[in-house]
Amino acid sequence: MKSGLQMVADVAMLLKVPEITGIISGSIWQHQRPANSRNEDVVINSLALTNQQLQQGVVNVNIHVPNLKLNLDGATDNTMPDLARMYEIEQAIYPILEACWKDSFHTDIDEPGQPYQDGANWYLNIRVNYYSLQENYQNL
């Protein structure tokens, strides 16, 4: 049986590769992003995981990118998301998580990137399905 912690660790392991770590200015974090991070970070957290023979779970992969700094009529605005940069990182992540088969789990993308506002900042959420077959499962 896998726990939510193991599910998040599995997805983090998939993303801790040069194709991702080499293109972001920050890090890949499990469960929470450090307070006041100004870097491009990827945060992985879990929503739910069943305890059936075929465990099914949902993982959030959140891409945090600093806002754009715009000069509008002499005033600085930093409230707009950098959608182009989010898209670049998203496109690097997709092939890793879509239809990924490992010995102990499988992932596929449930909901492709959706931007969300989080206070003054923005992030892009990719919702990932996670499947793991329990080898210790006994039907009593």
Answer whether residue 93 is part of any domain.
yes
Q: Considering the domain boundaries, does residue 108 fall inside one?
A: yes
What is the spatial distance between Cα 42 and Cα 34, in angstroms, rounded to a whole number?
Answer: 11
Contact 97, 107 (CB under 8 A): yes
Complete DSSP assignment for 44-62:
EEEEEE--SSEEEEEEEEE
Residue 139 in any domain: the answer is: no
Is residue 140 included in any domain, yes or no?
Answer: no
CATH code, domain carrying 91: 3.30.2000.10
- Domain membership of residue 123 (yes or no) is yes
Q: Is residue 49 part of a domain?
A: yes
What pTM value is reported for the model? 0.92
Please tell me the total count of domains within the chain: 1
Q: Mind listing the pLDDT tens digit of every residue in the chain (140 residues)?
A: 899 999 999 999 999 999 999 999 999 999 999 998 999 999 999 998 999 989 999 999 999 999 999 988 888 889 999 999 999 999 999 999 998 999 999 999 999 999 999 988 999 999 999 999 987 766 54
Q: What domain range is 68 assigned to?
A: 4-133
